[in-house]
Amino acid sequence: MRDAFHDDLDAVRETLVEMSGLVGHAMERATTALLTADLKIAEEVISDDSKIDALHHDLDNRILGIMARQQPVAGDLRILVTSIRMSADLERMGDLADHIAKVARMRYPSTAVPPELILTIQEMGSVVKLIIAKTSSVIQSQDITVALQLEKDDDEMDRLHRKLFITLLDDSWSHGIETAIDMTLIGRYYERCADHAVSVARRVYFLVTGEYASDQA
Amino acid sequence: MRDAFHDDLDAVRETLVEMSGLVGHAMERATTALLTADLKIAEEVISDDSKIDALHHDLDNRILGIMARQQPVAGDLRILVTSIRMSADLERMGDLADHIAKVARMRYPSTAVPPELILTIQEMGSVVKLIIAKTSSVIQSQDITVALQLEKDDDEMDRLHRKLFITLLDDSWSHGIETAIDMTLIGRYYERCADHAVSVARRVYFLVTGEYASDQA
């Protein structure tokens, strides 16, 4: 039979899954806004970020309440503390989607991304979307096999990030410094978002196995 | 009379002060390495980052131990959870010092910073040093007046960050795309480091007053 405490833990997990869903949706729309110079979608991503912030805030308070009420020890305490950290990662990922949308908005009605980088940004968008979807499923299922796969997906993000710099540094680059700055920051936002998602998956790995996934600081 | 629990809390606070000292020292040396193309100092900053990571890791485990043993509620629980968050901020600030040192190392024996940005980077280094020192004193003293001052220091960092972009975008910029990319990332590392320091000070403000400082998400 389930007790109230385990219902509380399930509800925490559900909120983390919900947050990851919102973050994935935000990143997907931020990529669309960026590639299609869609001001309306950019504004939506920016204003929806407060929903993710509010969920983060509420979840933190809820977890503190559970800790105070239930006085968990050992594994249960670790789950709650780790959930606070996952919530912080997800909140930050929402900020990074917001940052990408803000670049789209700043350059509107122009497109921030020059033609030779459209494919790279599309791929970064696809990879981060995949990583966030897998992270969400890892939070839900606690499937550590998927958690480990994320390291490979993150290698792909790193490869795309390097490819972006190669394009910026090519002699044929004709879009000037401003666009290079935009693309440098955007590349960093995608890469950091993927890092945070991988960090969430590693935290699940740690909860399930009691060991750190390789590469974990 | 002090009990064991309050000794534990004091020890947590001391570790946070120690971490902030190491982070301040790391950022100061990273700035020196960057401005003087000093490979030895850059390497030291990079290798010393593992000390900050280890303190972060140990502190987290210690806090979990205190929670499990002492079963704190209300304010004491909040102090411990907030300390976990401050430790994460400080660890990240160490990473950002490491990133700056890595740019210095990558460009050695050249200097990563072109002449017209030396003053801006010096000022960013001074401001971040001041912000970290104040954050450290806020953790130690719990003086919320200083915590609030940090918002103004952070405005100064934002001003320098904008100044950096103005220099990069000026028609007279003659250092090409690669240096512009370096400086874009370095500017972001300083700005993020200051943000995390301000976030730590806001967390202290919250612990002392029970309210969020303005601007707190």
Q: Looking at this predicted complex, what is its ipTM?
A: 0.93
**A54 is a domain residue:** yes
Instruction: Classify residue B73 by its DSSP letter.
Output: -
Q: What is the pLDDT of residues A97-137, one digit of tens each?
A: 999 999 999 999 999 999 999 999 999 999 999 999 999 99
Query: Nearest chain A Cα to B175, which residue?
Result: A177
Query: Nearest chain A Cα to B89, which residue?
Result: A88
Report the mean per-residue pLDDT for chain A. 95
pTM here? 0.95
Domain that holds residue B187: 4-209
Alpha-carbon torsion, ordered A180, A184, A186, A187, to 10 deg: 130
Mean of pLDDT values over B192-207: 96
- Contact between A187 and A124 (Cβ < 8 Å): yes
Mean of pLDDT values over B150-175: 97
Whole-angstrom CA distances from B72 to A36, A71, B77, B78, B217 are 52, 8, 5, 9, 26
What pLDDT is recorded for position A147? 93
Percent of chain B's residues with pLDDT above 70: 97
What pLDDT is recorded for position B217? 39
Q: What is the CATH number of the domain that holds B22?
A: 1.20.58.220
Closest by CA to A91, choosing from A203, A200, A185, is A200
Q: Which residues of A touch B64 (CB under 8 A)?
A: 77-78, 81
Q: Using the beta-carbon criterion (under 8 Å), do A78 and B64 form an inter-chain contact?
A: yes
Tokens at B215, concatenated: 């601007």
Does residue A141 register a pLDDT over 80? yes
Percent of chain B's residues with pLDDT above 90: 89
Number of domains in chain B: 1
**B215 is a domain residue:** no
- Model confidence at A217, pLDDT cuts 50, 70, 90, reads very low
- Model confidence at B216, pLDDT cuts 50, 70, 90, reads very low
CA of B184 vs chain A CAs: smallest distance (Å) = 6
Report the mean per-residue pLDDT for chain B. 95
Does residue A213 register a pLDDT over 90? no
Q: Using the beta-carbon criterion (under 8 Å), do A81 and B84 form an inter-chain contact?
A: yes
- Contact between B19 and B88 (Cβ < 8 Å): no
CB atoms within 10 A of CB A122: 15
Closest by CA to B31, choosing from B135, B103, B91, is B103
**B59 is a domain residue:** yes
Q: What is the pLDDT of residues B89-133, one digit of tens each?
A: 999 999 999 999 999 999 999 999 999 999 999 999 999 999 999
Tokens at B203, concatenated: 């967390």
**What number of CA atoms fall less than 13 Å from residue B119's CA on the CB side?**
3
Query: Which one has a higher pLDDT value, A193 or B215?
Result: A193
CA of A181 vs chain B CAs: smallest distance (Å) = 6
Does residue A216 register a pLDDT over 50? no
CA of A182 vs chain B CAs: smallest distance (Å) = 9
- Contact between A212 and B212 (Cβ < 8 Å): no
Q: Which residues of A touch B188 (CB under 8 A)?
A: 185, 188
Test mutation, A86, A103, A106, A181, chain B, max B CBs within 10 A: A181
Q: What is the phi-psi region of residue B70: left when phi exceeds 0, alpha when psi lies from -120 to 50, beta otherwise?
A: alpha
Burial (0-12, 13-18, 19+ Cβ within 10 Å), B111: middle
CB atoms within 10 A of CB A214: 9
**B216 is a domain residue:** no
What pLDDT is recorded for position B215? 52
- Model confidence at A74, pLDDT cuts 50, 70, 90, reads confident
Q: What is the pLDDT of residues B65-85, one digit of tens each?
A: 999 999 888 889 999 999 999
**B214 is a domain residue:** no
Closest by CA to B170, choosing from B213, B117, B129, is B117
* Chain A to chain B Cβ contacts (< 8 Å): 66
CA of B181 vs chain A CAs: smallest distance (Å) = 6
Q: What is the pLDDT of residues B127-157, one digit of tens each?
A: 999 999 999 999 999 999 999 999 999 999 9
Calpha distance A161→A181 (Å, rounded): 14
What pLDDT is recorded for position B75? 87
Mean of pLDDT values over A185-210: 95
What pLDDT is recorded for position B74? 82
